Chain A
């Protein structure tokens, strides 16, 4: 029993502390001197309190000491003996950072670095008006010793049992300290008829023969010191041999402890599962979907009347397979709050640094999205938010001049629309500057004209290396531009759109598939092969007239679509498939777009739109240039998914060049 290794609880402690700190930070960011509601402060206090308790228990002294200071400050805020100031919130936020570092140290198994918390500890102490006020100062124990032992008079109040205490337990404990001679006083014991079983009538005189401190004795009575008359005096004369402890003094008055109920298991409501296990499940379900589609196709040749029961079974199988697929996909889903939650702090810090006032409003935090997508939209979103605060939202003075509220508003929202998730980053800043973008584009050699629509102009900001920032700031404009944002989103088969109104603000809308495991695709046929084009990349398809197709000296074949010359790539040629090359005007051309560049793909036929389960080609075969993955069709054939970005990069030049 003894020798339990506390290290086994460390991981849980670190995990919950990290969660606690996140929650503290989020609450602190919501806190302003005028909106300091009791429950928020209580929540922050509880988080600090838990960390302190755990740290002390599991032996992380530096964390415990620092949290103690923090907790003292929070306790005063909680009790209302101290009004909350912006400086307090600032110190508390920095305390969260210090605690994170201290915990990282502890987690890495390194020695606590006291210097890490030194500066802030001093600040906290200063806020608390000096360390003398610490409530935890204990009074020095009275080292009152008695060689012979102690004479104790213990007369519990009548209601002692109501606190769950038991005189017998106390007497037994005293006996552990040394030999006891116990005499019960029966003076107040009534006649049996008048006896109330829940009342304590007895009192005891005890002679404890042990050379212990008075405090050791008092400690035994600590829980009941307010519920009894107690006198502890040094024993002077050696008494007679102690009588054995009566075993059943209080037994009569004890409540019956019978009655066991059926055990109830506490369910925490969730379990942690390794991502690979879920991915494996997703894969297996993919296989199941394919098998089901295959069976369906095989049954197509049978007579539905003759095989009615088989058909009923198959349609049931289809329904169940879909349900399983949806359920399994749902296990990979996380609320988008996982990304959103990092922004309040970032917005606060950034606005402070730039001397701007920004309010962040988030909505739809509970919208669920695939874990893989979440991880990969966090960087683009960070970039967009930085951009909006740096370039979009004006300084308070400029805003006042423009007749706007001095505090700018950033809106982050997420919602489900069809099979997609839509994330919006909007600000009420100055909006995009059409004239400046056009000038900059012309300067960079892009062909632009005044007649371009706004939407076309806004698209220019996604051109590689495009930035209209007058000066590179510390915050954004360090060469990572909107083109990277767009590229990242497109890599997820997503779409980025921009809307802007001069002087009113700008809104970037990101549309993403719910999951990376399923793709909305357009299937196209080349000979007897089927290829899948991501639907998000498809602009249009057409059958070109002979005069629309031209051979260019260096660029191969191009096709002219609405005054744009797009490179034409024959998929048959590209993948080296057998069959005779058809003239473009006798085939179908699909216009695809990626990374702001367009390309025309020549195919034989459009097959249709369908959702496909993505399989990794790399894991099952090897990497193939121009192919992002594969899927298995209902008839069991493998179809390659075209990596539009890769093909576009190989064949095209910038959009309007």
Chain B
């Protein structure tokens, strides 16, 4: 079973996401920014990528764009964690190739149910 990649520059959010997914039986890899995530994604094919929007070095939108250009990630679900529930960020994410988004704040149950929707 391939793994989920959780990308967030905030340690607490990343910990929460990773812990929640692990406790739901998923195998999780973590990255603190887009650049590192992209590096990991080149080495391993993840079945789903969950990424924050605002991050240093490489933001979530750029990460999604870069991932979609990799043959392995052409159809992989790429979800963005966003606090901006406004339409522009979503539009930007969609244009970059994001599958969908999860609006912060969310609780562990919402996270699991969204992930299950996509790959359950």
Stretch at the interface among A160-168, A202-210, A292-300: A160-168
Interface string of B47-87 (1 = CB under 8 A from A): 10000101110000000000010001011111001010110
Tell whether A619 is near chain B: CB-to-CB under 8 Å.
Answer: no
* Closest B residue to A226 using CB positions: B94
Task: Indicate whether A16 sits within 8 Å of B105 (C-beta atoms), given known contacts A163-B98, A254-B75, A257-B47.
Answer: no
**Does B104 contact A12, Cβ atoms closer than 8 Å?**
no
Identity of the chain A residue whose Cβ is nearest the Cβ of B19 in the assembled complex: A4
Q: Which residues of A contact B101 (CB under 8 A)?
A: 223
Find chain A residues with CB under 8 A from B85 CB. 136, 138
Q: Which residues of A36-50 are within 8 A (CB) of B?
A: 43, 45-46, 49-50
10 smallest beta-carbon distances between A and B, as pairs: A223-B100, A164-B99, A56-B105, A13-B12, A261-B44, A50-B10, A255-B75, A12-B12, A57-B105, A164-B77
Kindly state whether residue A352 has any CB partner on chain B within 8 Å: no
Residue among A15, A161, A173, A263 with the highest chain B CB neighbour number at 10 A? A263
Inter-chain CA distance A13–B23, complex, in Å, is 20
Considering only CB atoms and an 8 Å cut-off, how many residues of chain B contact the other chain? 57
- A165 and B100 contact, CB distance less than 8 A: yes
Can you list 8 A-B contacts with CB-CB less than 8 angstroms, sorted by A residue number?
A: A15-B11, A46-B9, A53-B104, A165-B77, A223-B100, A255-B75, A257-B47, A266-B29
Contact mask A453-472 → B, CB, 8 Å, 1/0?
A: 00000000000000000000
Evaluate whether A2 and B77 lie within 8 angstroms (CB atoms) in the complex, with A16-B11, A260-B45, A264-B29 already known.
no
Min CB gap A260→B, angstroms: 5
Given contacts A2-B108, A163-B97, A263 and B44 within 8 Å (CB-CB): yes
- Whether A57 contacts B11 by the Cβ 8 Å rule is no
Chain B residue nearest to A46 in the complex (CB): B54
Given A1-B23, A161-B75, A57 and B13 touching (CB < 8 A)? yes
- B28 to nearest A CB, angstroms? 10
Q: How far is the CA of A165 from the CA of B119 in the complex (A)?
A: 11
What residues of A have a CB within 8 angstroms of the CB of B104 in the complex? Answer: 53, 56-57
Q: Which residues of B contact A268 (CB under 8 A)?
A: 32
Whether A638 is near chain B, meaning CB under 8 Å from some CB there, is no
Residue in B3, B52, B74, B117 whose CB lies within 8 Å of A169: B117
Known contacts A49-B83, A56-B83, A173-B117; A9 and B12 CB within 8 A of each other: yes
Q: Judge if A262 is at the interface, Cβ distance under 8 Å.
A: yes
* A572 contacts B by Cβ under 8 Å: no
A1 to B26, CA, bound (A): 11
Tell whether A266 pairs with B30 under 8 Å between CB atoms, given A16-B10, A49-B54: yes
Name the CB-closest residue of A to B104.
A53
Asked whether B11 lies within 8 Å of A4 as measured between CB atoms, the reply is no
Known: A2-B108, A45-B54, A264-B40. Is A53-B75 also a contact (CB below 8 A)? no
> Could you tell me if A263 and B29 are in contact, using CB atoms closer than 8 angstroms?
yes
A257-292 near B? 1/0 per residue, CB < 8 Å? 101111111101000000000000000000000000
Closest Cβ of chain B: how far from A307's Cβ, in Å? 53
A54 at the interface (CB under 8 A from B): yes
Q: Mark B85-120, 1 if CB is under 8 A from A, else 0.
A: 110000100100111110011111100100001100
Residues of A within 8 A of B106 (CB): 57
- With both chains docked as a complex, state the minimum distance between the C-beta of B16 and any C-beta of chain A, in angstroms: 5
Min CB gap B42→A, angstroms: 10
A6 at interface by CB-CB < 8 Å: yes
Q: Looking at the assembled complex, report how far the CB atom of A217 sits from the nearest CB atom of chain B, in whole angstroms.
A: 15
Residues of B within 8 A of A223 (CB): 94, 99-101
Q: Assess whether A222 is interfacial by the CB under 8 Å rule.
A: yes
With A4-B23, A222-B100, A263-B3 in contact, do A54 and B12 touch (Cβ < 8 Å)? yes
Q: Contacts of A50 on B, CB cut-off 8 Å?
A: 9-10, 13, 54
Asked if A135 CB lies within 8 Å of chain B CBs, one says yes
Q: Which residue of A lies closest to B29 (CB)?
A: A266
Q: Verify if A58 is at the interface (C-beta below 8 Å from B).
A: yes
Asked if B30 and A162 make an inter-chain contact with CB atoms under 8 angstroms apart, the answer reads no
Chain B residues positioned under 8 Å from A259 (CB to CB): 2, 45, 72
Cα A8 to Cα B15 in complex, Å, equals: 10
Question: What is the bound-complex CA distance between A52 and B101, given in angstroms?
Answer: 18
Chain B residues whose CB sits within 8 angstroms of the CB of A173 once the complex forms: 117
> CB-CB < 8 A to A161: which residues of B?
75
How many Å lie between the Cα of A535 and that of B62 in the bound state? Answer: 58
| B86 surroundings in chain A (CB, below 8 A) | 135-136
Q: How far is the CA of A474 from the CA of B27 in the complex (A)?
A: 59
Contact A255 B74 (CB under 8 A): yes
Which of A16, A64, A136, A163 has a CB less than 8 Å from the CB of B12?
Answer: A16
Rounded to whole angstroms, the CA-CA distance of A264 and B38 in the bound complex is 13
A99 CB → nearest B CB, Å: 15
- Which residue of A43, A172, A227 contacts B56 across the interface (Cβ within 8 Å)? A43
**Given the complex, which residues of A lie within 8 Å of B27, measured CB to CB?**
263
> Whole-angstrom distance from the CB of A196 to the nearest CB of chain B?
13
Contact A12 B15 (CB under 8 A): yes
Partner of B43, one of A4, A165, A261: A261
Which chain A residue has the least Cβ–Cβ distance from B81?
A: A53
CA distance A652 to B52 in the complex (A): 66
Task: Other than A4-B20, A58-B16, A263-B27, give 18 A-B pairs with Cβ distance below 8 A.
Answer: A2-B108, A2-B112, A12-B11, A15-B11, A43-B56, A46-B54, A46-B55, A50-B9, A56-B83, A162-B75, A162-B97, A163-B98, A163-B99, A259-B2, A261-B2, A261-B43, A262-B44, A266-B40
Given contacts A1-B23, A46-B55, A254-B75, contact A264 B44 (CB under 8 A): yes
Q: Of all chain B residues, which has the CB nearest A45? A: B54
